[in-house]
Amino acid sequence: MLHTPSGGAGHGAAATDSGLMSIGTVLNVLREEFPEVTISKIRFLEAEGLIEPQRTPSGYRKFTVDDVERLGLVLRMQRDHYLPLKVIREHLAAVERGEDVRLPVLGRSRDGEGASEPPGVPTVARIGRAELLAAAGIGAEELAEWESYGLITPVEDGVYDAEAATVASLVVELGRSGIEPRHLRVMKAAADREAGLVDQVVAPLRRHRNPQTRAHAEARTKELAGLAVRLHAALVQSALGVRLP
């Protein structure tokens, strides 16, 4: 069994008499630490084989406390260590085999040399081209096509923001349902506009001379990004006339 560190998502979870939780309950528990998490994200991690919740005879997902702790661990490895899902999956498998393994860490400095940044200035996680291709399970031609659509953009030659691995995995998942990368350009355009709105709010804080104010800008950006993601999900559900369980 995998345990999250103290204060992890499994504590204080509301469960049924059988000790199982619905996906909605799991979402509420995880959002205490991961406000940006969505039901779609949980389902995606299940589809990628990182969790295996039980199913009722009618097909509803039911999660144990261990499932929630595992989800928290996966989300924490993505957030704190900027690891692609392939690396996370391999790490969890090694832990389950009883191996003493350490988490690999992708470069987080701006120049890739591990240089420190001034207080309050966020570092940028980096992932190499080969790592990105391996994490998403795609070829160089596919990546080049996605870059031509603006879905993934290198920060410099052969180096990407680590979030590109998540984007790539989601593009692959949507492709399995017949949604081609070229169809996703409208989503990228919408995301850019949303990011622009957030940036307008936090830009004055980022330019401030006070390091604490600049650090507050980073926290404020994450908060607004989380709200924007939740609003976007709600608007899509409303437009489709569906409600996720």
Task: Give the chain's residues under pLDDT 70.
Answer: 1-18, 82, 103-125, 244-245
Q: Is the dihedral of CA 225, 39, 169, 95 positive or negative?
A: positive
Predicted confidence at residue 82, as pLDDT, reads: 67
What is the pLDDT at residue 30? 93
DSSP designation for 209: S
* Lookup: tokens for 105: 């860490």
**What was the pLDDT predicted at 147?**
92
Two structure tokens written together for 197: 């709105």
What Å distances lie between residue 175 and 55, 204, 233, CA to CA? Answer: 25, 39, 19
pLDDT at position 7 is 39
State how far the Cα of 147 lies from the Cα of 142, in Å rounded to an integer: 9
Distance of CA 184 to the CA centre of its chain: 18
pLDDT value of residue 6: 36
Please enumerate in sequence order all residues whose Cβ is within 8 A of that of 52, keeping only pairs 6 or more positions apart, or say none: 46, 67
Residue 74, CA distances (Å) to 2, 28, 70, 176, 219 in order: 11, 17, 6, 23, 21
Q: Return the pLDDT at 103.
A: 66
Is there a contact between 146 and 171 (Cβ–Cβ < 8 Å)? yes
Nearest to 26 by CA among 60, 2, 77, 59: 60
Strands (E), the chain: 54-55, 61-62, 126-128, 159-161
Give me the pLDDT at residue 162, please: 77
Look at domain 1-105 and name its CATH class: mainly alpha
The gap from C-alpha 135 to its chain's centroid, in whole angstroms, comes to 14
What is the predicted pLDDT for the residue at 125?
A: 66
Res 23: pLDDT: 92
Question: What is the model's pTM?
Answer: 0.53
